[in-house]
Amino acid sequence: MDWLVVEFPGPDFGKGQIAPFLEDLVNRELIRVLDMVFLRKTEDGTLETAEISDLDPSELGELRTAEADLALVLSEQDVMDLAETIQPGHSAAVLVWENQWAAPFGTAVRKAGGQLATQAVIAAFEADAGAEAQSA
C-alpha cells in the first residue's frame, strides 16, 4: 500500500487533467485505489474537505464512479495532519492505493528463490536497531 498528496495551485485539483491518467492505471489493473480525499485551503487557511461524490465531474472525470469501491483507510486525524502541509489558496488530492502488479511479481521472485531487496534492507535495519537497543 502506498500513498501520496498532490498539491495544486488554486482550488480546482488540477482542472481534471490528472484523473484520466489515474483512471488508466486503475483500468489496466496496475493499482487499486483504496482511499481518496480532496482538500482545499482558502486564502485565510480555512480547510475544506471533499469526497469524490462532492466534486464536479469536470474535476475528476470517470473516477467519480470509484467511490463505492473505496476501502476508506485514512482517518480524520490522518487528513488533518496532511492538510497542515497544504499552502493557503491551494487544493490537494490525497490518494492511497495498492500496487496490484506487486503481489504476482513478489510471488514470482520468491518462487525463483529470490528475495525482494527492500525486505532484506528492512530486516537489516531492524536487526541493527535491536542490537543498538541491547547494547544501550
Q: What is the pLDDT of residues 90-131, one digit of tens each?
A: 999 888 888 888 888 888 988 999 877 766 666 677 777 766
Give 50's pLDDT tier (boundaries 50, 70, 90). Answer: confident
pLDDT at 87: 92
User: What strands, in cross-sheet order, belong to the sheet with 90-99?
Assistant: 2-9, 90-99, 31-41, 47-50
Q: Residue 111: what pLDDT? A: 92
Selection from 71, 70, 41 nearest residue 53 by Cα: 70
Q: What is the mean pLDDT of residues 7-35?
A: 84
pLDDT digits (tens, 9 = 90+) for 38-48: 899 999 989 88
> Which of 30-34, 62-66, 89-93 is predicted least confidently?
62-66
pTM for this entry = 0.68
CB proximity list for 105: less than 8 A, separation 6 or greater: none
